[in-house]
Structure 1
Amino acid sequence: MKVLGEGMAIDDEITLKKLEVFLAFMQMSNLTRVSERLGLSAVSVHRALHSLEEGLRCPLFKREGRNLIPLKSAYAFAEHAQRAIAACEAGVAEVREMSGFNAPRLRIGSLYSLTLRCIPKVIIGLKLRKPTLDVNLTLGSNRELLNSLEEGRLDAIIIGLKEPPVSQDLVSVPLFNDLIYLAAHLGSPYADAAEIDLADMRDQPFVTLSEGFVTSDSFSRAFEISGYSPRIAMEVGDIFSLINLVSEGIGYGLLPGRIGAFSSRIQLLPLAKKYASHQQVTLMFSASRERDPNLLALAAECRLYGRQLAGKE
């Protein structure tokens, strides 16, 4: 016996599933048709109705041969059962909406550097899959986007990672890997180099992103390997400013390969093998929402984009 409140008790035999079976039978008055609708055997339907009577401790039907004939008690109980099912369905819908499950709006976060090709293609594909879905896009650094995902301000993020995530609380869907290059202005002294050894650039100025961006982490790691601290001409908060400063010769930078499509005024040069690193562009969302239809559609579109990109290489 499960006590729900003072003076009120619901027997274990009375369940929402049995109420659904009961209401279906009250509507169709046929065990076979109810079993076909609910995907149950006729024996299971009959057992559910019988156990419901036991839980209520009063009859709902009279038996006439193989037929069950509803009593007045069955019609009275059906009204309450219908309200109980409706209230439960409304509660489930409200809680899912509060949690963003299959909501009419999907909040996606991403990096500025993914807005040229990746994000537009993914969103267009997502809208084709779910035409009525509204998509809100927020741009920021890795740190900002991860915090927003953790705090529930975003439903999903697409970011660059140095290493594959290991958190069991998050679902991750990799899209593609992106190598890190030296970014130089056109006509720089390094323009014809087959590869760049950062140790040879000790006296050169560099422009970098502020902390929190994955590209900033790549920059720091490369110069740890180089054995010296670079001369920082300027630190900026977005990748577009960095591209513009590099193109004007203010300094050199380290940028992922996807940046090459943003500007014809910079040149991306390969780094020597000892500095080689990459970013794994990855979709991430909460594991608690891995069955959300909106996020399943987004994940499918991200996988498709990754396969299409791999096919072009």
Structure 2
Amino acid sequence: MRLDLVDLNLFLCIVDAGSITAGAKRASLALASASERVRKIESDAGVALMERQPRGVVTTEAGEALAHHARLILRQQAMLKGELHDFAVGARGTLHLYANTVALTEFLPSRLAPWLAERPRLRIELKERTSADIIRAVASGLAEAGIVSDAIKAQGLQLQPVMKDHLALIVPPKHALTQYPKVRFMDVLEQPFVGLAQGSALQDHINDQARAAGRLLDFRIRMKTYEGVCEMVSHGIGIGILPQSVARHYSRRHAYETLVLTDAWARRQLCLCFRNWKALSAPMQSLLAHLGASGE
């Protein structure tokens, strides 16, 4: 049988109305067109689907079977249409968002929660990468968008600032460095450090800066969490580098001094990064707009 959705809808309209004339009207078809379609449906089926009576039509047993399956098919079609619409407007599917360490821990949680709560069928896969890795992924088309530091050049990409992301040096109380409210990274490279665990995008970025200066950091210990770094520093194990917002947050629990790093790479902003706004999928546009993108 060569039935299309219009045929199925018309058949159900006729069944529900009890007449071809009323069914055609419900289906927004001319009576002649509706009658011809019904004739072709029965011809293709090879069996009578309706009995014509003076006051309308009634379905045969075969017609009841067709009506049953027609309702299932049209219901599935409506569900499919609804799901595709959800994908189109960003209410369903999986978004892949690349972000550096600070974005994942300090920026995204409070901002993503209300947006995602309104979209129960949508999933977000967050991927932690260094800003340099994210920029390469977006530039090559491997990622739609990411959240990066503006300390990294992003030629050919759009960067839209959404939060300050300055890094600070934290040192134990009464450390010799506390007499200097501002320090250069070069001047502390010989100090023992408390670092973040391997795999941390932020720590990888700091290590890259040390290598660029011709040195390797001397780690006494590496911790998995920001608070772990703060606690170790407060006990005099070494010094550490963290985002200023993180240092302020944990200073209420642990005793250490926070110093300003004067290096340009440490005075950063978090930026949304993408190639072309119009080329982004509708779900990604919705997410980035919520995070602060201007959409230009």
Match of 2:66 in 1: 77
- Which one-letter code corresponds to 1:22 in the other structure? F
Q: 1-side partners of 2:194 and 2:4: how far apart?
A: 65
Match of 2:292 in 1: 306
Q: 2-side partners of 1:219 and 1:22: how far apart?
A: 69
Specify which of 201, 209, 216 is matched with residue 229 of structure 1: 216
1:265-304 correspondence runs (5 A): 265-273=256-264, 296=283, 300=286, 303-304=289-290
Query: Contact 1:173/1:302 (CA < 8 Å) preserved in 2?
Result: no
Q: 1:300 deviation in Å?
A: 4.3
Q: 1:179 deviation in Å?
A: 3.4
Q: 1:124-147 CA distances to partner (integer Å, 9 max, x unpaired)?
A: 4544x36xx599xxxxxxxxxxxx
Q: 1:22 to 1:195 in 2, by over 3 A?
A: farther
2:125 is the counterpart of 1:156? yes
Query: Contact 1:173/1:299 (CA < 8 Å) preserved in 2?
Result: no
- Which one-letter code corresponds to 2:219 in the other structure? I
2:250 is the counterpart of 1:260? no
Q: 2-side partners of 1:42 and 1:303: how far apart?
A: 47
Unaligned segments of structure 2, at least 5 residues: 83-90, 148-160, 274-280
Give % identity.
Answer: 16
Query: Contact 1:160/1:279 (CA < 8 Å) preserved in 2?
Result: no
Q: 1:20-69 CA distances to partner (integer Å, 9 max, x unpaired)?
A: 4533443344334334xxxxx769x84876664564355646899xxx95
Q: Tell me the secondary structure at the aligned position of residue 262 of structure 1.
A: helix
Q: 2-side partners of 1:20 and 1:191: how far apart?
A: 79
Match of 2:228 in 1: 241
- TM-score, normalised relative to structure 1: 0.56
- Which one-letter code corresponds to 2:169 in the other structure? A
Query: Contact 1:257/1:268 (CA < 8 Å) preserved in 2?
Result: no
- Which one-letter code corresponds to 1:306 in the other structure? G
Q: Tell me the secondary structure at the aligned position of residue 250 of structure 2.
A: coil
Specify which of 113, 116, 134 is matched with residue 123 of structure 1: 113
Query: Contact 1:183/1:253 (CA < 8 Å) preserved in 2?
Result: yes
Q: 1:281 deviation in Å?
A: 7.2
Q: 1-side partners of 2:11 and 2:163: how far apart?
A: 55
Q: 1:209 deviation in Å?
A: 1.2
Unaligned segments of structure 1, at least 5 residues: 1-10, 36-40, 94-100, 136-153, 283-289, 309-313
1:26-105 correspondence runs (5 A): 26-28=15-17, 29-35=22-28, 46=34, 52-53=41-42, 55-57=44-46, 60=49, 69=57, 72=60, 73-85=62-74
Q: Tell me the secondary structure at the aligned position of residue 27 of structure 2.
A: helix
Larger radius of gyration: 2
Match of 1:138 in 2: none
Q: 2-side partners of 1:231 and 1:281: how far apart?
A: 33
State which drifts further: 22-31 or 187-196: 187-196
Aligned residues: 248
Match of 1:184 in 2: 170
Specify which of 191, 198, 201 is matched with residue 185 of structure 2: 198
